[in-house]
Amino acid sequence: MSAHYASIASVDHPERCEDTTLVYPGDATTAPVYVVIDGMGGHQYQTAEGTLITGREAAQAVREVLLEDLARLPHDVSADPGGMAEQKAIAALTRASHRIYEYLNGQGERALTERVGAVATVVIVCEDGKRLLVAQVGDTRAYVLSGGEFFQICEDEDNVAYLLQAGLLNDDDAYRITQILNTFDGVHEPDAPGTVMIRGQTYDLYIAWRWFWDGNGALGIPGGNIVVNALGISEDKPMPETSRMEITAGDVLLLASDGLYKNLSEAEITALLPHEEAATHLADSAFARSKEAANRRSTPDDISAMVVRF
């Protein structure tokens, strides 16, 4: 098992990267843990001493807690629902959220427009390397490439999820929209036949998917940068999405912040994964794309990629 990772700061703030990663490789008795964390860069504030507090500080706070709480889990820890790995991951994410809320956001005294936060995906290699436990808050992602198939493990908690939770979009239409968003190359119009129903009204899919890319105020569809679940913004206990899957020799795990997968289509990502330094190639390619104004996938953001080979 080997892990490589790379992070690049956004072109909008090259002096700081608000993403961070965590690799705990484990050993003969402890379980490996891999994490990607994306500090929410839209909010920030300055302390009385003049220190700027941003998503970077929130991401680092999450990393510290996860390392403290998830290092040295037993190598045979169960990935079962309600098992030790799931319990530990949820408890660690909850404590990380509370730390941000209490120490960085002044227990909610900061205005909502100033509160910093983070999203994260945690992967624990369980049962002597046989299964993964994934816990996710927000829209960072875990993918697995196995037997030539590339798939996302947990669903994003984004603007599509927002309408799903509100009952304004059904599962099938959400899946079709998400598939286009993941595969669009940023240049060529995707083949999008049929219709979808949003807020009880029928629309051509060919038109509707764009609203989830850019937002549509008239229909109440937020832009693609929204998340509906984050760490540290409120005192509420975060409810991570959890999943688990079996792994075999030759499988590849990819952890990605949204700066990576919003700039690169799934085809571009899978084409780069076989490279020995795939994490670096992915991050560099996403960063180059983020400066290509003519490509509609171009998204200025911090970029992180972690590639783990089993």
Tokens describing residue 100? 């941000």
Helix (H, G, I), strand (E, B) or coil at 172: helix
- At 275, the pLDDT band (50, 70, 90 cuts) reads very high
pLDDT digits (tens, 9 = 90+) for 14-72: 999 999 999 999 999 999 999 999 998 678 898 989 999 999 999 999 999 999 999 99
Distances (CA, A) of 229 to 20, 66, 103, 190, 233: 18, 18, 19, 29, 9
Q: Which of 267, 284, 275, 285 is CA-nearest to residue 307? A: 275
Q: Which CATH class is domain 2-152+228-309?
A: alpha beta
Q: In this structure, which amino acid lies at residue 223? A: G
- pLDDT for 48 equals 87
Dihedral of the CA atoms 79, 80, 81, 85 (nearest 10)? -30
Distances (CA, A) of 305 to 38, 222, 256: 11, 26, 5
Q: Which of 282, 270, 275, 274 is CA-nearest to residue 306? A: 282
Domain ranges (residues) in the chain: 2-152+228-309, 160-214
| Prediction pTM value | 0.95
Question: Do 85 and 124 meet the contact criterion of CB atoms below 8 Å apart?
Answer: yes
- At 224, the pLDDT band (50, 70, 90 cuts) reads confident
Question: Do 240 and 209 meet the contact criterion of CB atoms below 8 Å apart?
Answer: no
Q: Which of 21, 14, 1 is CA-nearest to residue 306? A: 21
Tokens describing residue 258? 């949204």
Q: What's the rounded Cα separation, in Å, for the pair 242 and 36?
A: 15
Residue 171: exposure state from Cβ atoms within 10 A (0-12, 13-18, ≥19): exposed
Q: In this structure, which amino acid lies at residue 69? A: D
Residue 50: how many CB atoms within 10 A of its CB? 6
- At 225, the pLDDT band (50, 70, 90 cuts) reads confident
- pLDDT for 108 equals 82
Residue 46, strand partner residues: 52
- pLDDT for 42 equals 74
